[in-house]
Amino acid sequence: MFSKINVFGKFIVDNEIGRRLKGIRTALKISQRQLARQSGVANATISQIEAGKLNPTVSMLKRVLDGIPIGLGKFFGDEFEVRDRVFFRAEELTEIADGGVSYRQVGANLASRSIQLIHERYQPGSGTGKHAMTHDGEECGIILSGRLEVSVGEQSEILQRGDAYYFKSNQPHQFRNSGSEPCELISACTPPTF
């Protein structure tokens, strides 16, 4: 899969992300300028991403995709997944990130689903990027191991094993592993917008 994220929350440049973004944008008959207006991301930035010259952070790509609108899961997902599937083996979870941050999503195409469930892993020093994310819905998670700094609006806490969070996702939020060991958690988002 072409969705790789380094320890700083940036996608590793691999022209597939840019080609995919351009393909979706043109299929929907949205110009780069229109997408820039709708997402609040500079036209030049979108152009550089599509050309494979800029590796976006998770939050930057999320902001661009919000202008379409399409979630990261759908952006990276398999459009032809069987929709009524019930069980998923560990190796069948859809990886929508790699490297310093790993998001292993249950199912690939969540277009007709109400919940997004993700097994997340953050390496020490990694996070979602320097820009906070916002989207419609609610999200929650529980830390399985390690430590995770969760910032929501003006609030920030370092959570560890057994701690949890739950918030409305229209508040700016960020995640970062400020510890010295990997952090693992299970999170859920409704509706699936990430």
Summarize pLDDT for 106-127 with one digit per residue, the tens. Answer: 887 676 788 999 999 999 999 9
CATH code for residues 90-190: 2.60.120.10
Residues 169, 153: Cα–Cα separation, whole Å: 10
With left for phi above 0 and alpha for psi between -120 and 50, is residue 34 left, alpha or beta? alpha
Residues 133-168: pLDDT tens digits? 998 899 999 999 999 999 999 999 999 999 999 999
3 state SS of 101: strand
Mean pLDDT over all residues of the chain? 83
Domain ranges of the chain: 16-76, 90-190
**62 contacts 132 by C-beta, under 8 angstroms:** no
Pick the CATH number of 16-76 from 3.90.650.10, 1.10.443.10, 1.10.260.40, 3.10.110.10: 1.10.260.40
